[in-house]
């Protein structure tokens, strides 16, 4: 649903009067989707287009809902199709079914995906702009995973991951080699590997370890940017609603 720019700005609570709203627009301080707008009656979809005032992202109270989830094993990051329902699959969206209304539930998106067997930090939101900002390869948001493998990797293997390894990616049914970007890697005494990457190809972490000739037996996402799952103290399958501004501050250190 479209809204007029002056109405949107008034509802943000950022301006003390309608006069301040008009002056902000007329002075060229307001951008919508990256373009300066000087027409106070300009209409746009506030669900899909970001509004900034002098570089500051503006938000409507209650416009979007954003949750952080500690994803358990055995759930998939998509809406279920008929075949998946017949197989008894479960979706991450179902974990929020009792805490959001129907409209919010239908609009929820995952920020990237974790495969069915992978656990850990997952963000779900109704804000498509937030999804793009975090998931876009251009922004290179770092993601850290705790990995256990069989057999354990050696220091020489960790060195290969730090330099980048060649994995196989499938595009339109065709496999092609891909050189991963350098990763930050730390080996723990118990064999756990903490790996941080800033890209997100499909099943990339599993493919990176497969290139070393080892199998990933446990994969858990610990953090996205500066947002750390441990700090939220969430049990597996539990979620918490977060203010989007605080979420952005945590992830992007804004």
**Residue in the structure block whose two tokens are 């804000």:** 127
With beta carbons less than 8 A apart as the criterion, state whether 239 and 99 touch.
Answer: yes
Q: Judge contact between 221 and 118, C-beta under 8 A.
A: yes
106 is catalytic: no
**Closest of 237, 185, 202 to residue 112, by C-alpha:** 202
Cβ burial, residue 245 (10 Å; 0-12/13-18/19+): exposed
Interhelix angle 128-135/244-252, rounded to 10 degrees, is 10
Contact 190, 147 (CB under 8 A): no
Distance CA 73, CA 64 (A): 27
Residue of 148, 143, 75, 146 whose CA lies nearest to 112:
143
Which of the residues 39, 115, 230, 243 is marked catalytic? 115
List alpha helices for the chain, DSSP H: 5-11, 18-26, 82-86, 102-107, 128-135, 155-163, 204-210, 229-232, 244-252
How many C-beta neighbours within 10 Å does residue 47 have?
16
Q: How far is CA 208 from CA 44, 115, 164, 195, 218, in A?
A: 43, 15, 9, 10, 14
Residues noted as catalytic: 115
């Amino acid at each position: 649903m479209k809204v007029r720019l002056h109405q949107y700005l008034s509802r943000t609570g950022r301006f003390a009067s309608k006069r301040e709203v008009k002056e902000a627009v007329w002075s060229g301080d307001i951008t919508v989707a990256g373009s300066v707008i000087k027409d106070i009656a300009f209409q746009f979809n506030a669900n899909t287009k970001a509004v900034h005032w002098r570089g500051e992202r503006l938000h409507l109270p209650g416009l979007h809902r954003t949750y952080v989830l500690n994803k358990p094993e055995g759930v998939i990051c998509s809406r279920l199709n008929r075949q998946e329902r017949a197989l008894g699959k479960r979706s991450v969206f179902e974990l929020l079914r009792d805490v959001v209304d129907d409209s919010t539930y239908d609009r929820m998106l995952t920020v990237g995906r974790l495969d069915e067997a992978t656990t850990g930090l997952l963000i779900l939101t109704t804000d498509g702009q937030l999804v793009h900002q975090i998931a876009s390869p251009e922004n290179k948001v770092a993601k850290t995973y705790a990995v256990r493998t069989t057999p354990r990797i050696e220091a020489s293997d960790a060195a290969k991951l730090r330099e980048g390894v060649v994995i196989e990616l499938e595009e339109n049914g065709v496999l092609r080699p891909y050189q991963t970007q350098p990763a930050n890697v730390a080996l723990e005494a118990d064999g756990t590997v903490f790996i941080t990457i800033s890209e997100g190809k499909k099943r990339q972490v599993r493919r990176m370890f497969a290139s070393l000739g080892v199998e990933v037996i446990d994969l858990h996402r610990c953090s996205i940017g500066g947002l750390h799952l441990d700090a939220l103290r969430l049990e597996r399958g539990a979620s918490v609603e977060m203010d989007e501004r605080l979420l952005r501050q945590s992830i992007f250190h804004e």
